[in-house]
Chain A
């Protein structure tokens, strides 16, 4: 497998998608910093400020996420998150072996297929499980004083808090890997540039399988 030398720019990430991505980045960074302070890992803003900021930013994220959900369903982008096993092994093989040999990515990005099989499953778990769990547990944590009014007196703050903490570790760990993975484009900053401008430089069409498109190419 060799790289086709013909690179071309494609518009991969829509304006809203990029706004969403970077807004979420900012919110998550603030949430992690303030959240781990409340957890007792370190002192940065002061406990009281950390709690206030965390609550505000957390609720902001909840609202922003609603817009994301709306967007992903109205645009049909949700199809990019449908998991598949096809080419999964070759992607895994690529990151474990091929990348060191300078091989081309087995599943290059396309407008209609911007996630490789590994990304599909990771982003699905992230967007459909991890982030919602974090938001629900966070919202419950925030609403602790209203639990009896909400009929949730049976809930344990400890369980909610520990789920929320575990989620935070998972997200932090995702960020570590994610930040590293975006340097694996054909240049170190190719993917970062794409998420800022929307334009990604990719190899030409041939290497994309028909099955990967969310709609069949006309």
Chain B
């Protein structure tokens, strides 16, 4: 056998080198990009670069604030004497009206309207004065003057209580009481002189307690955000950027940006790059719609997946949040008395006046298509008690180009409805005639419905309901965001419930996979049998024949 000259002994090394070189660019770029920043990050840092607010006034030097205020009215007038338009502006906002759209006389979405939820159900058009503790006026009347301090004073105190005490002591008239009044007045004066943009604790004094207690409602909004760590909220963390709420909830004429019932927080997806006067309410305002590094597959997700879906893997990470509330279980007594029991978090899981409740921590959101609009059932709307009633639900579907997959807390409830009129019912809870005092559903429902001017047939039962909260706070640092396989997985995909589209890693055809592996296996068996045939028949055959 003559082995003719091998012309290029180096060739195979060249081949290997070429293959290796083809694989190098991604490796090199992966290493290099560690130094580079994602564009969305750089953008956001530019948008929030200057943290210092420049102030042109010092409220402690204003003569009009050097007084011992005797009423809320007097204090508010002091503010208005300079900020002439502030109260007028504020009166038009939902923070004051508690109506999503005061011109909408039909549905009247809002706490002061026909809206209800599956927590404390309703404010009975603010007839339930227990709810008015959060209304930003002096006292619990909607006609009272605006209390500017609730949102703007940097001092924390219970202003309503302070004013009631001042007025009480002044009424008593004796020297000791006057002394006491002066003391509280001094405190109030300090609070009135220490003014600024709303801080986390200002907004939090109501919003952290939505539903009547810390973390009851939202799951991504509770007292843990008063002084959060960077791990809990990468923007608000006191050890990081230390954002206040208003950093994103930007404001014009006292209108604070954010979702209001059916109205989306933002109608357009645009960044400050596209519109320098846009609100900063969306992630994209600062981070843009293509925030990840160039060529990163994540950028191809932003059309269908909201940032929050991956960047808030769990909510209620420090404080627990209420996940369900069964009013039908309420009214039980122990030894003829109302009672309550606590769960592992020290939260009430049973109260005679409220029923059974479930709390949870580190909750994985549920994912739904959402275009920014939340549709909700009002006290006027007919319901179908045969199924679970969606008291509120996100609007959107896969075919809607404005919809994205968005994380939600879904609160499950069981609450009273009118069996004849087929509407949800709004009981009065607090006060002498309220359910919490009487444990008498019939009376509470009658009075409650009356307060709204809505009928009650007298026949009621309980129906299962759901209520949704878009999860948008508690954005975790990027290393805590979801990995691909949290969703792209055949088992335990977070998006297992979202149907109607093909998702790599989650979907596939069982039939095709069985058939495919079957063919591969059959090929393998085939060649094995053939090989055995060659081994056992005549070795590699030819040589033997040659010998013959």
CB-defined contacts of B533 to chain A, threshold 8 Å = 100
In the complex with contacts A18-B15, A22-B19, A101-B541, A157-B501 CB distance below 8 A: yes
In the assembled complex, the Cα of A38 lies from the Cα of B488 at a distance in Å of 8
Q: How many A-B residue pairs have CB under 8 A?
A: 150
Q: How far is the CA of A186 from the CA of B539 in the complex (A)?
A: 11
CB-defined contacts of A103 to chain B, threshold 8 Å = 541-542, 545
Contact with B12, one of A7, A60, A196 (Cβ below 8 angstroms): A196
In the complex, whether B25 has a CB less than 8 A from a CB of chain A is: yes
- In the bound complex, how far is the Cα of B12 from the Cα of A188, in angstroms? 20
Contact with B along A19-35 (1 / 0, CB 8 A): 10011001000000000
* Nearest Cβ on chain B to A89's Cβ, whole angstroms: 18
Indicate if A156 sits at the interface (CB-CB under 8 A): yes
With beta carbons under 8 angstroms apart, the residue of A3, A165, A177 that contacts B512 is A165
Q: How many residues in A have their beta carbons less than 8 Å from beta carbons of B? A: 62
Q: Is the CB of A99 within 8 A of B519?
A: no
Point out the residues of chain A lying under 8 angstroms from B524, CB to CB. Answer: 176
Residues of chain B contacted by A104 (CB below 8 angstroms): 542
In the bound complex, how far is the Cα of B544 from the Cα of A99, in angstroms? 12
A180, B531: Cβ atoms closer than 8 Å: yes
Flag whether B54 is at the interface (Cβ < 8 A): no
Any B CB within 8 A of the CB of A123: no
Specify the chain B residue showing the minimal Cβ separation from A196: B12
Smallest CB gap from B12: residue in A: A196
Cross-chain contact B15 with A3 (CB below 8 angstroms): no
B333 CB within 8 Å of chain A: no
- Chain A residues near B537: list those with CB within 8 A: 100-102
Is B546's beta carbon under 8 Å from chain A?
yes
The answer to whether the Cβ of B507 comes within 8 Å of any Cβ in the partner chain is yes
Q: Evaluate whether A161 and B502 lie within 8 angstroms (CB atoms) in the complex, with A100-B533, A102-B541, A166-B512 already known.
A: yes
When distances are taken between beta carbons in the complex, the residues of chain A under 8 Å from B8 are 15
Chain A residues with CB below 8 A from B516, complex form = 165-166, 168-169, 172
Q: Which of A15, A51, A172, A180 contacts B527 (CB 8 A)?
A: A180
Q: Number of contact residues on B: which range applies?
A: 35 or more
Instruction: Tell me whether B526 is interfacial, beta carbon within 8 Å.
Output: yes
Known: A38-B504, A40-B489, A48-B483. A197 touches B6 (CB 8 A): yes
Which of B25, B26, B516 has the most chain A CB atoms inside 10 A of its CB? B516
B520 on the A face (CB < 8 A): yes
Say yes or no: is A65 at the interface (Cβ < 8 Å to chain B). no
Closest approach, in angstroms, between the C-beta of B336 and any C-beta of chain A?
A: 60
- Chain B residues with CB under 8 Å of A184's CB are 534
Q: Which residues of A contact B3 (CB under 8 A)?
A: 9, 199
Cβ-defined contact, A102 with B538, below 8 A? yes
Within 262-297 of B, Cβ neighbours of A (below 8 Å) are at 297
Minimum CB–CB distance from A98 to chain B (whole Å) comes to 8
The reply to whether A173 and B15 contact each other, CB–CB distance below 8 Å, is no
Bitwise, A180-197 to B at CB < 8 A (1) or not (0) is 110110111000000011
CB proximity to A under 8 Å, residues B508-546: 508-509, 512-513, 515-517, 519-520, 522-524, 526-527, 530-531, 533-534, 537-546
Cβ of A191 to closest chain B Cβ, rounded Å: 13
In the bound complex, CA of A102 to CA of B541 (Å): 3
Q: Given known contacts A23-B18, A99-B534, A186-B542, is B508 in contact with A165 (CB within 8 Å)? A: yes
Give A186 to B543 CA distance when docked, in angstroms.
Answer: 9
Residue interface bits B1-15, CB-to-A below 8 A is 1, else 0: 111101010011011
Residue of A nearest to B536 (CB): A100
Q: Please, which residues of chain A bring their CB within 8 A of the CB of B19?
A: 22-23, 26
Bound: A15/B490 CA distance, A: 44
A9-B2, A23-B19, A145-B300 as given contacts; A52 in contact with B26, CB under 8 Å: yes
- In the complex, A145→B537 CA distance in Å? 56
**Cβ–Cβ contact A48 & B505, under 8 A:** no
A residues near B141, Cβ cutoff 8 Å: none
B485 interface residue (CB < 8 Å to A): yes
Instruction: Say which residue of B1, B18, B520 sits within 8 Å of A173 (CB atoms).
Output: B520
A215 interface residue, CB < 8 Å from B? no
B residues less than 8 Å from A173 (CB atoms): 519-520, 522-523
**B22 located at the interface, meaning its Cβ lies under 8 Å from any Cβ of chain A in the complex:** yes
Out of A2, A48, A102, name the residue touching B297 (CB < 8 Å). Answer: A48
Q: Among B12, B297, B485, B520, point to the contact of A169 (Cβ < 8 A).
A: B520
Within 8 Å by CB of B545, from A2, A38, A145, lies: A2
Residue A162, interface by CB 8 Å: yes
Whole-angstrom CA separation of A168 from B541 in the bound complex: 34
Is A161 in contact with B484, judged by CB distance below 8 angstroms?
no
CB within 8 Å for A165 and B542 given contacts A47-B483, A173-B519: no
Residues of B within 8 A of A55 (CB): 297
Whether B545 lies near A40 (C-beta < 8 A) is no
Residue in chain B with minimal CB distance to A169? B516
- Chain A nearest CB, measured from B22 CB (Å): 5
* Nearest 3 interchain pairs by C-beta: A102-B541, A169-B516, A180-B527
20 A-B contacts (beta carbon < 8 Å): A3-B546, A9-B1, A9-B2, A19-B11, A19-B15, A23-B18, A26-B19, A41-B513, A43-B485, A51-B504, A56-B23, A100-B537, A102-B541, A104-B542, A157-B501, A158-B507, A161-B504, A162-B508, A173-B519, A173-B522
* Known A2-B545, A100-B538, A101-B538; 20 more pairs at CB < 8 Å: A3-B546, A9-B4, A19-B14, A26-B19, A38-B504, A39-B504, A40-B505, A41-B513, A46-B484, A47-B483, A56-B26, A102-B537, A102-B541, A103-B545, A161-B502, A162-B509, A169-B516, A172-B520, A177-B526, A183-B531
